[in-house]
Amino acid sequence: MSARDLNQMDGSWPIDPQVDAVPMGPSGSLLEQRGMTRIELPYPVELGHGWVDQLAISPQLMVHQTVVRPSPYRKNNRLPVDECRLDFADAALSVHALHAGTLLSRECLAQAQLVMRPGQDLFRHSEQGAIVPLLDTASDLVMTALVCSDRELHALIGEDAGQQLLANLGLADSPKIKVVHIPMHVSEPLRQCLSSGSNGALHALYAQSKILEYLWKLTTFTSAAKVSTRPGPGVVGTLGALHDYLTHLEGETPTLKELGRKFGASPQSLNRGFISEYGKSIFAMVSSHRLQQAHKALLEGNLPIKTIAMHTGYSHVNHFTHAFKVKFGYTPGSLRRKPLNQNL
């Protein structure tokens, strides 16, 4: 690749015409030690706040993770995330995988609008692109993007496997853009890319290992199953609705039988489909999601642990404390006693 490589990824802000570019620079010692930079998204206070963490593993391989938390006082139901213009020297594969939230992507060059949700990932194979993503402000957004040149893709998994992967995704001809049904457990390694506790070269090595794990899972999945860019409204739609319902559920979790009645499917087929789609059983997913929410509440708020346990669905705080320690390796109380910089 030429000196341009993948670095021609310009970010501009569609809300304020006075802002021509988003400043990119290290933010805080931990990010700097890990070789990462943080872009603070310049939302007005009444809209919310968000940021993009990025890591350049090589000039031809980059990872970005975007987090946006809309304000509860927002007036509009859609919020621009960040306008992005892509200009590569050669064709590159870019992936946008949502782990939470819903995003409408306005693809300027393709004159198309594509909707992304968890399990509905956007894939692009092109040399150029221009995107204006709009967030559905009903929930927070967590999204990981991977940008990998064709040359780097072939170096990582081999030329034959790389070409077959693009073909399986329907991206053999460039330029192409597709939203493809990919189970969330396949894209989970991408979400973990930037979460290493290591610094410097070790952090980049960890991220690269997660990218390899993701590419292996993606290649295996797309080779074993016929990839559909338009999943039917039956099982997949039911599972997506169930997932949304469970992520917003508070208090006691309904039984499988109750969920089956609510979503018009047998309890067994509902749970089997959920495991196939998301890599976890219904109750394992609910437990993991609620503990993550409890972790966030402990860090960002002052609610008593007993209250958080009740909102998480635990009738006894001791049961909550045990489950929390099993998942995170420490108790809720010890998390609140940690210095702030150790919680990052």
Per-position b or e across 215-237, b if 16+ CB within 10 A of its CB: bebbbebbeeeebeeebeeebbe
In tens, the pLDDT along 262-277 reads 777 788 778 887 877 7
pLDDT at 295: 87
User: Is there a contact between 42 and 55 (Cβ–Cβ < 8 Å)?
Assistant: no
Do both 77 and 184 map to the same domain? Answer: yes
Do both 51 and 199 map to the same domain? Answer: yes
Do both 279 and 256 map to the same domain? Answer: yes
In tens, the pLDDT along 205-232 reads 888 999 999 999 999 888 876 544 444 4
Q: Which residue is it, tokens 């992936």?
A: 95
Residue 16 lies inside a defined structural domain of this protein: yes
Do both 182 and 249 map to the same domain? Answer: no
Question: For a pLDDT cut of 90, what percent of the chain falls above it?
Answer: 5
pLDDT at 281: 82
How many C-alpha atoms does 66 have within 13 Å on its Cβ side?
A: 25
Residue 1 lies inside a defined structural domain of this protein: no
Do both 218 and 246 map to the same domain? Answer: no
In tens, the pLDDT along 41-80 reads 777 777 778 888 888 888 888 898 888 888 776 555 666 6
Do both 20 and 157 map to the same domain? Answer: yes
Q: Which residue is it, tokens 């508070």?
A: 250
- What is the CATH number for 298? 1.10.10.60
> Domain total for the chain?
2
Where among 204, 224, 244 does a domain terminate?
224
User: Is there a contact between 215 and 165 (Cβ–Cβ < 8 Å)?
Assistant: yes
Do both 60 and 108 map to the same domain? Answer: yes
User: Average pLDDT by consecutive 10-residue portion of the chain (344 residues)?
Assistant: 42 40 38 66 77 85 87 65 66 88 70 76 80 72 88 89 88 80 88 78 86 92 62 57 78 80 79 78 83 84 84 82 87 74 44
- What is the CATH number for 142? 2.60.120.10
Instruction: Decide: residue 25, CB within 10 A, 0-12 exposed, 13-18 middle, 19+ buried.
Output: exposed
pTM (2 d.p.): 0.61
Do both 168 and 63 map to the same domain? Answer: yes
Residue 253 lies inside a defined structural domain of this protein: yes
The range of the structural domain enclosing residue 14 comes to 9-224
Residue 229 lies inside a defined structural domain of this protein: no
Q: Letter for the amino acid at 22?
A: V
pLDDT at 109: 56
